[in-house]
A and B are shown apart, each in its own frame.
Chain A
């Protein structure tokens, strides 16, 4: 079965640089979530989109922005990178968010971002 695809899998950037992470949800899934997981920590919710509209916002820094495109893939843009942004960034997708049963979130393999 098709899974969530994230690219790149690994990314090394220097401080103050920008990075773009991409997420391709499971086909037919219309909801995308972004999570950040630091070393030895639980995932922290950043932002989510349902039908290309932002549906929820968590602890996402102002330096970060995200959007969901017409084909439902999503991109997380990170600017002015800091050392503390080094983490594993997960994208998850699910089917339907409003008006239907809350389907499970299926996670991609993550993008490991290292800021030096």
Chain B
């Protein structure tokens, strides 16, 4: 158990719908990262928040958005869902998230499996 929690574990929805994925980082971690993992593809970085502010962005679609709240939990919002959005969505957290820092390994949550029908 990494200490990172994600809800829900599974989500099944229809095309065109909107969903919200939730992540609670490890106690004391300030950075939250979101990744998408489609079948047969590697982990694709979506977005990072550090202490409530957006810090880095990957190839995140405009239909997707995220935020980090004052209690440091984060939510990833996916809207106008398409079949191709079906994937495992992972959240990870790390302590510092500051460039040039030491190890600062990322700890991954169990993921949310999204199925769009």
Say whether A associates with B: no
